[in-house]
Every structure is written in structure tokens, then in C-alpha cells.
Amino acid sequence: MKVASVLLPLPLPEAFDYGVPDDWELGIGDHVVVPLGPRRVRGLVQEIREVTGSNRRLREIEERLDVPSVPPSAMAFLDWAARWTLTPPGEMAFLATRGLSSPPPRAERRLRRVAGRDPARPTEARSRALATLGDDEAASMADLARAAGVSASVIKGLMDEGVLEVAEIQPALPFGVPDPEFSATQLSADQAAAARRLAGAIDGRTFAPVLLDGVTGSGKTEVYLEAVAHLLRQQPDAQVLILLPEIALTQALMRRIEARFGAPPAEWHSSVPPPVRRQVWEGVRSGEAHLVVGARSALFLPFRSLRMIVVDEEHDGSFKQEQGIVYHARDLAVARASQSQALVVLASATPSLETLTNAEQGRYDWVRLAARHGAAVLPDIDLIDLRATPPDRGRWLSPPLVEAMVETLAKGEQSLLFLNRRGYAPVVLCRACGERMTAPDSDSWLVEHRYTGRLVCHLTGFSMPKPSHCPACGAADSLVSIGPGVERIAEEAAERFPEARIEVFSSDTVPDAAAARDLVRRMTEGEIDILVATQAAAKGHNFPNLTLVGVVDADLGLKGGDLRAAERTFQLLIQAAGRAGRADRPGRALLQTWLPEHPVMQALKAMDRDAFTQAEGDGRRLMGLPPYGRLAALIVSSADAEALDRVCLDLARRIPTAERVEVYGPADAPLALVRGRRRKRFLVRADRDVDVQAYLRAWLAEFKVPASVRLRVDVDPYSFL
């Protein structure tokens, strides 16, 4: 008999076996409905095998769904990803089916000419309507009447006579066929050399990981797009995936790709309408979608001929998925390229220490672009010592920065004020009793958003109007805003420069791709004088008239005990500073800091990335931390504090003994209470060559988590909150 192993979208450790009816044709990746207890559950076929002499009585698959299957190559990748992240394989597999949960776009009703039929009374208005429509065109009644300058009754009369008929037209695909010869880019000598290196890796038709390491403004995008063109010339049916860390970056890259290849790529992220997501999913599955630009979840699309993956801004922490299924898209992209025998390009001006180490040790090819493209040069970076020149009381912009902004505005140039903190103020306190406003059942602070008059928790999404009385002591008008967010900086800039055109760029003020596209356009076209922004504007954008970047709080990222705090601060501030002087005008960046002697600040001032990464790497190597060691975390949470303690104690008793592995905890997480659930954490540190996943499997193999407790595994954690 035939037996199918079926993955179910449930927290189960393995696939379930079902019998296959004798007359069925079934394949790996097919969608089926199977019985599970009294329920009928949708599943994905993982494996099919012949079984002889078995005494097991298996329930049979009840239905094969008429939807496109997930290709075997994608199923193999999802199986590997589940084992790497210690995710139930069924839950991981169903990441590849998210596009199918949406209905396809509805057909549009359009009018078209009926062949061989002419109106019985060919009036001038009727003739004009038919000439406007043409023989092979289709249009709605309203559009046709408007274009022809006739009334709706004229169109209705042509329909009544059978000259026009209603047809259901399927909406056009939201992507096209790229033409590698459509508009070739003029590359510099350095860019051309880098593109040839990537082309050579493509010609090898095998797995090739490459670090594309170029300073801000060096033209990394042009280099990898030229490699895409080379690939499409050699293999017209090839598919390419470009991963971006921010939705705001998607629109600019979409336009550049369309200008280069004459057709828009497929787009995949949370802002894409569900029916379009269905079209993109099916286009990727069929091979019609050759170029895909998307967020980290695009990695799970069902590619059938994936030959190249680009991870742009590969260092960015946004590639780490923290909620639900936990994974790092950069690492999984390398694995998927390996399984597909494809080229994977990791592009960055500030590569992660993990990627740099792989390049230094020869595991990745290392392609460098050391200079900006064309006449542009790197900006000068200076530190403003806030101990020597502090801002005025109640202000946040120091005199040297204000003076630089005055000079920039006088020249007709643009300024960027960078502060990676949303809202108006990060803390709201009662000056009468000292109460700090926090989200209900959470330790996270409420952030004031003055534009909306609300207090918002950026962790849980909780929101409330700002109260007029302190909820703890009842004092009236006692709540005060502590510290600045981008809204507060914009308010100060407006007071200082009342004639300037000022905008705020953050995920609160630019909530979707359309708003981001409009703001970026207005900044690019010079309609904004001062842009106050979070990291949403710190990478990937090219504003030709921007010559001054002022970092309001350069020390912000250094606070806390995060393993990568110094690295992230260096990367983010280099990226922010790199927005200045990207055209023919020189740029500069001024960093306000209370710690000018800090190694990160000194490395930024000297633009000495190598010195910083050497010092940071030496410290990590000494402690056996990534990339010279491995980390994993177990996060245990429950609304029942006693149950949480019991589970953690039981887990602690079961910690396996192994050489070159250390386990710390359980300890309260820094944010110990989130949405009413208490949280504790175990942290596993191991030497680089230790199989951490095997260690965790051995630890958790016989452990049963009570229903009131959640246990989440995070391999290679990036967040320590």
C-alpha cells in the first residue's frame, strides 16, 4: 500500500502517516485533507512511500485539494529550517502556504466590441464611442463614456443592440517579464569589476556565498542588479529573490528594477493586498514571477527555479523574526541558496561580525567597493561633546548642530535629524508621586505621541488617551514628558526654523508603503528642508540635496546589556551619516554624545570600521560569544507565576551535562511581565563546533510543557529583552 507522511499546522514533533487511496496520484507538497480525531485538518504531503507487510491500520487521506502544490525543493528547505530552528515541522511548512489563504482577485467586468456587429443607427456619438474602444480593447461603461465624451445611455444602447458585450477580464499580473537588455547601467571601473566577480559565481552554477561590502553610496545595488541581468541572459527561466529589511525601502528599489529591466518585479510584504499576494504566490510557484522583492517572509515562497538571493543590508536586525516562528532570514537565505545551488549575495556597508568572520576565513567570497560612485565622497563625521556644549534647558539640539543647520538652510540644502526613538517622549512620569506610566500587565513604558494625543506601548500595541490626572495619586495635570522622541525634535526644529518645511519619518507617521513612497519622493525632489527620522530613513535612501546629518542622541544604542549593542550602534550611525553628500555636494555628520571617548564614537569619528570590528571581535572571542561561539535561549512564560516557577525548576533539573556547553538561568527576563504573562529565560552558550540544536533536543526530548505555560526556543538570539 502507499503511505503518505502528512505535515499538519499544529505543534507536533513529526508528520502523521495516512493511507493513500489506490487510484490516487499524489505528490510531495500536495495539499490534502486528513482526519485527525473527530476533525478534518488540512495538511501538506511530506513523503510518499510503498509499504508491504504492515499490520498497521491507517486512516486514509480524505481529499486532495485542487490548489498548486509546494515544490519538493521548497519542502526540503522548510524541513531543514524546522530542524535548525527547532520549530514543529508542520508549523514551519505552512509558512509556504500563506499566499494561498487569500482568495484570487475577482475578474473585472468590462465592455468589448462584438465581432461583425454594427449599430442599426450609427449616430455620431455611437461612432465616437466605438472608435474610442477599438476592436480588441475592453473598458468599463463609465470609463468608456468618459473617454468618448458621450452619455451612459449611448453605451447602454450599443449593449442593447448586441454591438457591445460584457466580458469578465482577469486582472493583470502585478509583475512583468524582465528584459536584461532594457536599460543597461553605466558602471564605474570598481562596480564593473565587482559585477564580473558575481557573474563568475553565477557561471559556476553552484552554491556561492558572496559578501558585497561597499561604503554607503558606492553603488552596491547597481552591482547586484547587473549580476541579475547576467543571470537572466544565461538562464531566462531563473528566479531571483531580493530581501529588504524595511518596507519603506521596497518602493525605491521597485522603481530602480523597473527602470533597469522594463518590468516591475513581484512584491511581497505585509502591506501587499491579499488578492495580490495570491497572484504573487502562484506566479512564483509557476515560474512566471522572475524577480521578487520582499521582506523576510518572502524566503518561504514556493520558488521552482531559484538561482540567486540578495540580502540587502544583511546586518540589519529586522531580518530576525522574533514573534511566532523564530528565525533569522539572513541565515536561512544562505541555507536555501545552498540547497538550490544558487548565488547568495550579502550586501552591506557595515557587515555583521558573523558575515565578516565568514569572509575573513574564506567561507564567503569577499567583494569590496571602497569609494562612492561618481563625484560623491564620504561625509566628514564630527563629534559634539554635550558636556562642553550642551543644549539649552528644555531643548535637545546643541548650539553647534543648530549653527550647522542654519548654514545648511542658507545654502538651500537639506538636513536630516536622526533619533531612533518614535513618538514625542519615551517616558511619562507623575511629578507629584513619581508614578511611571506603563502598559497594563506589562513592564514596558508608555510612549507619548503628541500628534495623536495618546500614550502607546510599542511592545504590546496598547494605546490610551493621555489622562488629565495621575492614575496612581489622582493629581491633576501632573504627568510630564521625559526625554525626546522624533515628534519632540520636530517641534523644536519648527520653533527654531519657522520658515523651514519639516517632516517626520517614522513607522507612526508613515504607516504604509504608499505614504513612504510619497515622503521619499518629496524629500528627493527638494520639497522638504528638514527631515526628522528614525532608522526608517537611515538606510537605502538617496537624497541628492541632503548634506547635513545631525544625530541627536548617538549614545542611545549603547545603553543596556545587549551583546550586539556596540555593533548595532556603529552600524546604524554609519548608515545614518551615510545619507549625507551622496551627490556632487560634500556632506557632513554631527554626532551629539555625552561619551566622545567611547571606542564606538572614536571609530565613527575616524571612519575606521576595521579598528572597531577588530576590537569588538577580540572581546567576543575572549568570551566565546558569536561568531566565535554559539548562543540559544529558552523563554518560558505563564500567567501563573507558581506554574512558571515549577516548570523552570523542572527544566533546570534536566539540564544535560556536556563539555563546552554552559547554561545560565533561569532568570527573570529584563521585561519580566508582558501582556499579563511572567517571563523567565535560560541562556545556553556553547563552543562554535558544538551542535546546539542536538543539545536542546536532548534537553527537551521527554519534557512536557503544561497547557498554562509556553516554551519558546530561540537559536542564535538577537533580542535579550
SS3 content of the chain, % helix, strand, coil (to 5): 35, 25, 40
Residue 25: HSE in the Cβ half-sphere, 13 Å Cα cutoff? 2
pLDDT band at 292 (very low <50, low <70, confident <90, very high): very high
pLDDT band at 113 (very low <50, low <70, confident <90, very high): confident
**Winning range, highest mean pLDDT, from 52-66, 442-456, 530-544, 679-693:** 679-693
Q: Whose CA is closest to 32, among 10, 59, 60, 65? A: 65
Residue 171 has pLDDT above 80, yes or no: no
DSSP 114: P
SS3 27: coil
Higher-pLDDT residue of 377, 253: 253
**What is the model's pLDDT at position 375?**
59
**What is the model's pLDDT at position 193?**
95
Cα–Cα distance for residue pair 70/91, rounded to 1 Å: 14
pLDDT band at 562 (very low <50, low <70, confident <90, very high): confident
**What is the model's pLDDT at position 88?**
94
Name the residue with cell 538561482. 307
- pTM given for the model: 0.87
Cα–Cα distance for residue pair 255/235, rounded to 1 Å: 23
- Cα-Cα-Cα-Cα dihedral sign, residues 610, 615, 616, 617: positive
- Residue 416 has φ and ψ, to the nearest 5°, of -120, 120
**What is the model's pLDDT at position 310?**
98
How many residues comprise the chain? 721
Q: Do 457 and 444 meet the contact criterion of CB atoms below 8 Å apart?
A: yes
For residues 249-261, average pLDDT: 88
For residues 468-495, average pLDDT: 93
For residues 89-98, average pLDDT: 91
pLDDT band at 279 (very low <50, low <70, confident <90, very high): very high
Residue 108 has pLDDT above 90, yes or no: no
Residue 118 has pLDDT above 80, yes or no: yes
Residue 544 has pLDDT above 80, yes or no: yes
Cα–Cα distance for residue pair 522/615, rounded to 1 Å: 41
Q: Whose CA is closest to 96, among 70, 72, 64, 73? A: 70
Cα–Cα distance for residue pair 481/504, rounded to 1 Å: 19
Cα–Cα distance for residue pair 665/478, rounded to 1 Å: 40
pLDDT, tens digit, for every residue of 197-234? Answer: 999 999 999 999 999 999 888 899 999 999 999 999 99
**What is the model's pLDDT at position 130?**
87
pLDDT band at 474 (very low <50, low <70, confident <90, very high): very high
Query: Three-state SS string across 43-109, please?
Result: EEEEEEEECCCCCCCCCECCEECCCCCCCHHHHHHHHHHHHHHCCCHHHHHHHHHHHHHCCCCCCEE
pLDDT, tens digit, for every residue of 576-593? Answer: 888 888 777 889 999 999
SS3 531: strand
Cell triple for residue 566?
556596540
**What is the model's pLDDT at position 129?**
87
Q: How many CB atoms lie within 10 A of CB 20?
A: 21
Cell triple for residue 604?
565613527
pLDDT, tens digit, for every residue of 381-429? Answer: 999 999 999 999 989 999 999 999 999 999 999 999 999 999 999 999 9
Residue 628 burial (10 A CB sphere; 0-12, 13-18, 19+): middle
pLDDT, averaged across the chain: 91
Residue 560 has pLDDT above 70, yes or no: no
For residues 664-688, average pLDDT: 93
For residues 652-668, average pLDDT: 94
Q: Do 97 and 9 meet the contact criterion of CB atoms below 8 Å apart?
A: no
**What is the model's pLDDT at position 598?**
92
Q: Do 238 and 231 meet the contact criterion of CB atoms below 8 Å apart?
A: yes
Q: Do 178 and 288 meet the contact criterion of CB atoms below 8 Å apart?
A: no
Name the E strands within 488-643. Answer: 502-505, 530-533, 546-551, 588-593, 629-638
- Residue 12 has φ and ψ, to the nearest 5°, of -110, 145
Percent of the chain with pLDDT over 70: 98
Query: Three-state SS string across 135-161, please?
Result: CCCCECHHHHHHHHCCCHHHHHHHHHC
**What is the model's pLDDT at position 396?**
95
**What is the model's pLDDT at position 536?**
79
Cell triple for residue 158?
450599443
Residue 496 has pLDDT above 90, yes or no: yes
Residue 298 has pLDDT above 90, yes or no: yes
**What is the model's pLDDT at position 511?**
76
**What is the model's pLDDT at position 622?**
93
The counts of H helices and E strands in the chain are 19, 31
The span from the first CA to the last CA of the chain, in angstroms, equals 51
